[in-house]
Amino acid sequence: MANRIWKITKRAALSRFFCGKRHKCSGKKVNIVMHSGGNMNREQKRKISAGLMVVLLLFVTIGYLRKAEESMATSVIAQMPQALTSLKNGEEKVIYLTFDTAAGECYVEEILHVLRKQKVSASFAVLGDWIEWYPEEARLLRESGQGIFCHSMHHVRYTDLTIEEALADAAEAKTAIEGFFGTNCHYIRPPYGAYHVQLLNAMEQLELQTLLWSVDAQDWKQGISSEEITERVVSSVKPGDIILFQTNCAETALALEQMIPILRQMGYQFAKLS
């Protein structure tokens, strides 16, 4: 045994290091076939699979967190005060004709005549100042029994005012309108439809919900015909829509005469805001 020479190649040494085996020889180089490469491939595959699983779990977690954030954002938005643009009630085909009282020419008498003739309920957004500007038309409107709600006192854009100024204007209008018409106002349509969230909150202090519209008849456009107004409303209307008209436009009353029978044929009913 003393005369035996142990020799090992570099390759064998490496094999011995990785595999933990002893290799003996009798004066000859020992040829060793290393199989550790296959084992390393399996190990790599195991590590890659584990890595992919981690990445997959990461994507799933991110997706879950994103959905949770979106759900929370939706919940927060749902809890914020909203301006009404429609009043859909199930499948009922009910629509709401609304008229903003305004300065300039006044066609309230003609509009009321058509509504009375067609037996249609509607609502008027009244300016506090308008009651003083047009006392006779205001009296006719009061006697008509149509719906009444606020349209501010002085028709100043609320977004140009401080919250306190807008609140004071709305409070003054509510007092004047309720006092003259003998009815409670539950809605306010801010001038020009201009508002922001702080204004919505402020109006709720007066128990007024901000109400806008979903269809603008655009009867205020210069040169527009009654046929064009009718076509615009009839082609756009959906159940629950709040339709906006003005009281200072010459073609509005005639357009109402044209569109009301068509809307009835389409199955729509008319209601006033309460």
Residue-wise pLDDT for 147-177, tens only, equals: 999 999 999 999 999 999 999 999 999 999 9
Tell me, yes or no, whether 37 lies in a domain. no
Query: How many Cβ atoms sit within 10 Å of the Cβ of residue 40?
Result: 11
* Residue 32's pLDDT band (cuts 50, 70, 90): very low
Residue 4 predicted with pLDDT over 70 = no
What's the pLDDT at 2?
Answer: 44
Domain housing 133 = 94-270
Q: Which residues pair with 243 in a beta bridge?
A: 97, 215
What's the pLDDT at 8?
Answer: 45
Average pLDDT of span 118-140: 98
User: What is each CA distance from 262 to 47, 184, 269, 270, in whole angstroms?
Assistant: 72, 32, 11, 13
Q: Which residues pair with 97 in a beta bridge?
A: 243
Average pLDDT of span 18-42: 49
Mean pLDDT of the chain: 84
Residue 55: Cβ-neighbour burial (10 angstroms; 0-12, 13-18, 19+): exposed
Is the pTM value of this prediction over 0.85?
no
What's the pLDDT at 48?
Answer: 74
What's the pLDDT at 90?
Answer: 77
Tell me, yes or no, whether 114 lies in a domain. yes
What's the pLDDT at 31?
Answer: 47
Tell me, yes or no, whether 261 lies in a domain. yes
The Cα–Cα gap between 3 and 177 comes to 123
- CB–CB of 229/219 below 8 Å? yes
The Cα–Cα gap between 268 and 27 comes to 108
Taken in order 67, 72, 73, 77, the sign of the CA dihedral is: positive
For residue 223, give the 3-state DSSP assignment.
coil
Tell me, yes or no, whether 207 lies in a domain. yes
Tell me, yes or no, whether 138 lies in a domain. yes
Q: Which residues of 183-214 are buried (b: 16+ CB within 10 A; e: fewer)?
A: eebbbbbbbebebeeebbebbeebebbbbbbb
What's the pLDDT at 39?
Answer: 54
What's the pLDDT at 65?
Answer: 52
What's the pLDDT at 66?
Answer: 64
Query: How many Cβ atoms sit within 10 Å of the Cβ of residue 128?
Result: 23
Structure tokens at 13: 């040494």
What's the pLDDT at 62?
Answer: 64
Residue 19 predicted with pLDDT over 80 = no
What's the pLDDT at 71?
Answer: 46
What's the pLDDT at 187?
Answer: 98
Q: Per-residue pLDDT tens for 175-226?
A: 999 999 999 999 999 999 999 999 999 999 999 999 999 999 999 999 999 9
User: What is each CA distance from 76 to 58, 69, 70, 72, 153, in whole angstroms?
Assistant: 27, 10, 10, 6, 32
What's the pLDDT at 109?
Answer: 98
Residue 120 predicted with pLDDT over 60 = yes
Tell me, yes or no, whether 224 lies in a domain. yes
Q: Report the number of distinct structural domains present in the chain.
A: 1
For residue 208, give the 3-state DSSP assignment.
coil
Tell me, yes or no, whether 30 lies in a domain. no
Which CATH number covers residue 191?
Answer: 3.20.20.370
Tell me, yes or no, whether 8 lies in a domain. no
Q: Per-residue pLDDT tens for 37-87?
A: 455 567 776 777 777 777 677 766 666 556 645 544 333 344 557 899 999
Least confident of 31-40, 187-196, 238-247: 31-40
* Residue 122's pLDDT band (cuts 50, 70, 90): very high
Q: Which residues pair with 126 in a beta bridge?
A: 150
- CB–CB of 218/229 below 8 Å? yes
The Cα–Cα gap between 248 and 258 comes to 18
Average pLDDT of span 99-108: 96
